[in-house]
Amino acid sequence: MIAYKIILYSCFLLVPACVSSPVLMNDPELIGRHPGAMEQPTDLGKKLHTAFVYDDKIYWGYGDYSKNTGPIKMIPFDLKQSKFTESETTLYTEAVFLFRMLKDGGLYVPYTDPCGLPESDYARKNKNSWEIFNPVKMVHIYDIVDFKGKIYLAGAARAGPAVVYELSYADPAYQSLSLSVASVDERNNFSRFYFCGEVKEKLYVQAIDYRGGKHKNSKVFDGIRWTDGPDLLPDGYGTHTKTDRFGGKLIYRTGAYLYSFDGAVAVKLQSEVIDFAVYKNELFVLKYEKQTGKIIKTSDLLTWAEVNRNIPESASCFCIARDNIFIGTTDSKIYKTSVYINR
């Protein structure tokens, strides 16, 4: 990550036009370092990629699949006790970039790059136990979603195409190839689906080739068949995309861009974005702007208010729980600050 110098402003200076009045920013409080991420052998492996609140605990993803690190220990931060727990399980993937809670109430973790034997596709936590599933044995799994009562995995197959597989809640062994898209130029190339998102009862993906970049169209699934859809990445894109829904729209971060999509047109909401989270009917965004780290929020996707600009320059992800923002960093540190604007 490019290092950004944090600029501290006096509370008496004028603030950006999107903020209604001057605010006094508190410095986030350092509450610890993730013990599992600290053990990783590379700098990228120590980076906290994602954070997710589940069962009053915060789960953290980390790892470096470019250097084949891992495995990844699930060591959550217990919000009731304000400390890390013991490791709940070890996931044999080189990195974790995403957590999802699906409609059965389980916490799902797709294996970005499976390692160890047997190779697995994803893990699920229900209540106090973890289970491992390997119905497909994909080479990379970047997203896992629930759509019309079924589970869908999005990622890449060993032969090179971007793929979506359909799975079943009732039968863990069931799997069916739902979509396969080859790269535009198959010579020494491959394609991947980095995200899978639902809006207005349709599922969307868009392939990105390793050398050729994004495909010009997305693919749209209505539960029966796939068809061509609009470009979801008009202004730029990256890998390891995160999606959520807010205000009846699909919200997704890809690279440093944050988009909204209403089923017809993708609109860029913000740039220089690191992460985002939906909390209490508001959308919070962690970003960099003019070499300043900050968190902003909106309730309508039109007007934005600044929550805190004193964000550590190493910030890499965040989540919100119990009216506090928990910020993960590139060096395994975790900070806490209030969700409320301090006036």
Kindly state the tokens that stand for 129. 């136990």
For 170-187, letters b (16+ CB in 10 Å) and e give: eeeeebeebbbbbbeeee
The tens digit of pLDDT for each residue in 135-184 reads 998 999 999 999 999 999 999 998 789 999 999 999 989 999 999 999 98
Say how far apart CA 156 and CA 140 lie, in whole Å.
5
Q: What angle do CA 331, 1, 43 make, to 5 degrees?
A: 40
pLDDT on residue 22: 39
Beta-bridged to residue 180, according to DSSP, are 163
| Mean pLDDT for all residues in the chain | 90
Query: Read out DSSP for 238-279?
Result: -SS-EEEEETTEEEEEETTEEEEE-SS-EEEEESSEEEEEEE
95-114 burial: b if 16+ Cβ within 10 Å, else e = bbbbbbeeeeebbbbbbbbb
Among 241, 255, 245, smallest CA distance to 142 is for 241
**What is the pLDDT, as a whole number, of residue 159?**
78
DSSP state of 231: -
pLDDT at 23 over 50: no
Whole-angstrom Cα distance, residue 243 to residue 152? 14
Across residues 325-337, what is the average pLDDT? 97
Find out whether 337 and 315 touch, Cβ atoms under 8 Å. no
- CA-based nearest residue to 60, from 88, 80, 81, 22: 88
Q: What is the pLDDT of residues 78-115, one digit of tens each?
A: 999 999 999 999 999 999 999 999 999 999 999 999 98
Task: Output the six-digit token pair for 19.
Answer: 């903020």
Torsion of CA 87, 90, 96, 102, to 10 degrees: -80
pLDDT tens figures, 221-276: 999 999 999 999 999 888 888 999 999 999 999 999 999 999 999 999 999 999 99
Q: Each residue of 30-61: pLDDT tens digit?
A: 999 999 999 999 999 999 999 999 999 999 99
Q: Could you give the CA distance from residue 135 to residue 131 in angstroms, rounded to a whole number?
A: 13
